Amino acid sequence: MQRDSEWNITRRELDREAEKSPEEQEAWKKDAWYSVMFEAFLGTVGLVFRAIRSIFSAI
């Protein structure tokens, strides 16, 4: 019973995806790219702050 309801949900999601235009289907790639770049930016900022802190602690 539960498998049937899970399958129906998945099937509805797939049907909704199929009805979207190609531009809407590709939108997740742009969102994922921004997310990855934001994480990379935060990592870089963290490394810069760590380097500054190590320079000042060595003085």
Q: Would you state the pLDDT for residue 6?
A: 63
30 CB burial (10 A radius; 0-12, 13-18, 19+)? exposed
The yes-or-no verdict on residue 4 having pLDDT over 60 is yes
Asked whether 25 and 17 are in contact (CB, 8 A), the reply is: yes
The answer to whether position 16 is within a domain reads no
Number of domains within the chain: 1
Other C-beta atoms lying within 10 Å of the C-beta of residue 45: 10
The answer to whether position 50 is within a domain reads yes
The answer to whether position 36 is within a domain reads yes
- The DSSP code sequence of 9-51 is HHHHHHHHHHHS-HHHHTHHHHHHHHHHHHHHHHHHHHHHHHH
Q: Would you state the pLDDT for residue 30?
A: 82
Boundaries of domain holding 49 = 23-59
**Could you give the CA distance from residue 44 to residue 23 in angstroms, rounded to a whole number?**
32
pTM exceeds 0.85 for this model: no
For 5-52, how does the pLDDT look when each residue is reduced to its tens digit (9 = 90+)? 666 777 788 788 777 787 777 777 888 889 999 999 999 999 999 999
Q: Would you state the pLDDT for residue 58?
A: 81
